[in-house]
Amino acid sequence: MDSIIHAIILGIVEGLTEFLPVSSTGHLILAGNLLGFVGEKAATFEVIIQLGAILAVVVLYWERFIGLLRPNPEMRFSGIRGLWLLFLTSLPASILGLLTHHYIKTYLFSPFTVGLALLVGAIAIIWVERRHFTVKTQTLDEISPALALGIGCFQCLALWPGFSRSAATIMGGMILGAKRTIAAEYSFIAAVPIMFAATGYDLLKSANLFTSADIPFILTGFVVSFLSAWLAIKGFIKLLGKVTLVPFAWYRFGLSILVLILVFFNFF
């Protein structure tokens, strides 16, 4: 059985980075390599703790998710319309992900490719924040089908581990006219269907790698990921009311340079 300390560390990394524009997948790849926890079993464990982070979104935005199942006439982002918007956002990355899943797993899950993705994403964030896009969407209920599909197209960038799904969708929303905080909140909510689909697909293929002896390890990572994600989401939304995404870009710059240097010296 793997170390409970490893489960706690990876749970914290997943929960804190899943919904911030810094890439949870990239951080997990780096953390896993540093801890020596790699391979198919490690990849499946990372999928499981992602579910913990997803659950935090469902709990925090439970009214919105209830509204999807039980339409609220006072909220346009509810019922069939809300489900349709989430479907449009999930569609591009779902199709592209299925077509390129093997290639991505084979060639893009390395510290070097993660370092490059962190760097490219940092440049993209700074470019977006230095532009002044006209804000046309101020609330979740104002999101249109065209905006939802557009954000979904930007979400495809997140198939490159290290780029960050959160960064891709928030930047996409801002470019297409959404207020920064609304783009972030929609990014959180839209993550649920695409991540459930992706994690479910991976779990069906490799859940048999674990035994009953691994249950404490798995539960620890799951719970820690949930709690960390809960704190990260609440703090991030408050922070975006005061600052831009630029501090996250500088963090990505620093981390990418460090990673590429370590790769150059064969540390990983």
Q: How far apart are CA 91 and CA 165, in angstroms?
A: 14
The reported pTM is 0.89
Q: How distant, in Å, are the alpha carbons of 11, 77, 99, 172, 219 from that of 149? A: 31, 15, 19, 10, 35
Q: How many domains does the chain have?
A: 1
pLDDT in tens, the chain (268 residues): 458 999 999 999 999 999 999 999 899 989 998 898 888 888 888 888 998 999 999 999 999 999 999 888 888 999 999 999 999 999 999 999 989 988 998 899 899 999 999 999 999 999 999 998 999 999 999 999 999 999 999 999 999 999 999 999 999 999 999 999 999 999 999 999 877 777 776 677 776 777 777 889 889 999 999 999 999 999 998 898 888 999 999 999 999 999 999 999 888 7
Mean of the per-residue pLDDT values of the chain? 91
pLDDT tens column, 180-208: 999 999 999 999 987 777 777 667 777 67
Domain that holds residue 222: 4-264
